[in-house]
Amino acid sequence: MAVKWPEGITSASLSCGIKRSGRPDLGVLLSEKPLQWAGVFTQNAAAAAPVQWSRAHLGKAVRALVVNSGNANACTGPAGDAAVAKTAEAAAATFGLSPDEILISSTGPIGMELPVDKIVAALPDASAGLSPEMEPFFHAIRTTDSRVKLAAFGPLVGVAKGAAMIAPNMATMLAFLGTDAPIESGVMQGLLAGAVNRSFNRICIDACESTNDSVYLFSTGTGDPVSLDEFSAALDDVCATLAEQIVRDAEGGTRVVSIEVTGAADEEAAARLGRAVAASDLWRAAMHGSDPNWGRVLSAMGSVDRSLALDKVSVSIGDVEVFATGAPTGSVEAAAAQMDGDFSLSCTVGDGAGAATVLACDLSPDYVKLNAFGTT
């Protein structure tokens, strides 16, 4: 099913020459009218120049966004800031706007100077390719993605890219959401932050936080009014769907594992334990080999919660309990059988009300091969 932007928003996909492959590497989003918008960005201290530009524009109405793939424009010093400003000025001249009405985003290798002149030269061609279809825009923002990532629920649509460097600390990868619901930007900001925390912040591919993570939510405000509950539910659905698609497209991944933690002191404590397990290379390697090495799960949780009481902990792999009240239990062979493909890992850590689920993938030799030559 084709997914389209809300009426009044179009996008274009171009090849400007950043990627040596010649594949699309420049995306443009344009609105007929000023957009209310919200954004959630990486908390990494090495946040990229485009993140800093867009974050500074929160609270201002915008009309367009320019995003490139193949180069993160991160850790590039004054030249990176100048490239962002030059891109905004070129886009403003192309579409008859002010530079302050332009948001900027980038994704790709870190520490390489952005060839901004290629972007500037290509922007005039964007007008001819503008379309309400979202899929071409995805191809402009993808890097190592092998699958299209689109979602639509109620009044919301979304597109995302990401397959590695996924350990969100606010958002993750790049995601662009659109709606026609007439909701004020400040309200959207709070709703988006909550949705991101429950979705993109609950996935982990390789425990490597990005410098460019950004999630944008745009509203034309031209649609029928919706209740905040309805809007929030649709926003949760769109974000959760895109987040799961990212994990399913993980570089080298062969299975998706749902890590469910219950009994923690609160939700954030449960999420922290789940993320620790998801980040464990030892456990992820065991996942790949269908090895029910549950000791690695306990070790990962104990590394972030020094007060973890093993006599209150139980661990199950699929339907097989492998550890309970401080001692091993169950059948190793039966547990291994549960790991042949996607499976769940359930951890009860006490009698608290906190619960959270984190999605993760296995660590395979292909992941190492794909990331051994990221800039060469």
**Which of 87, 94, 172, 262 is labelled catalytic?**
172
DSSP state string for 289-328: TT---THHHHHHHHHH-TT--GGG-EEEETTEEEEETTEE
- Strand 256-264 to strand 62-69: parallel, antiparallel, or no bridges (unpaired)? unpaired
Q: Can you tell me the distance from the alpha carbon of 195 to that of 203, in angstroms, rounded to the nearest whole number?
A: 13
- Strand 320-324 to strand 256-264: parallel, antiparallel, or no bridges (unpaired)? unpaired
DSSP assignment letter at 4: B
Q: Please, is 340 exposed, middle or buried when counting C-beta atoms within 10 Å of its C-beta (0-12, 13-18, 19+)? A: exposed
Helix/strand/coil for 359: strand
Beta bridge partners of 69: 107
Give me 83's structure tokens.
Answer: 């490239």
Give the Cα-Cα-Cα angle 240, 241, 247 (nearest 5 degrees): 90
> Look-up: residue for tokens 């799961």?
244
172 is catalytic: yes
Q: Which contiguous run of DSSP H or E holds residue 34?
A: strand 26-41
Q: Please, is 56 exposed, middle or buried when counting C-beta atoms within 10 Å of its C-beta (0-12, 13-18, 19+)? A: exposed
| Residues tagged active-site | 172
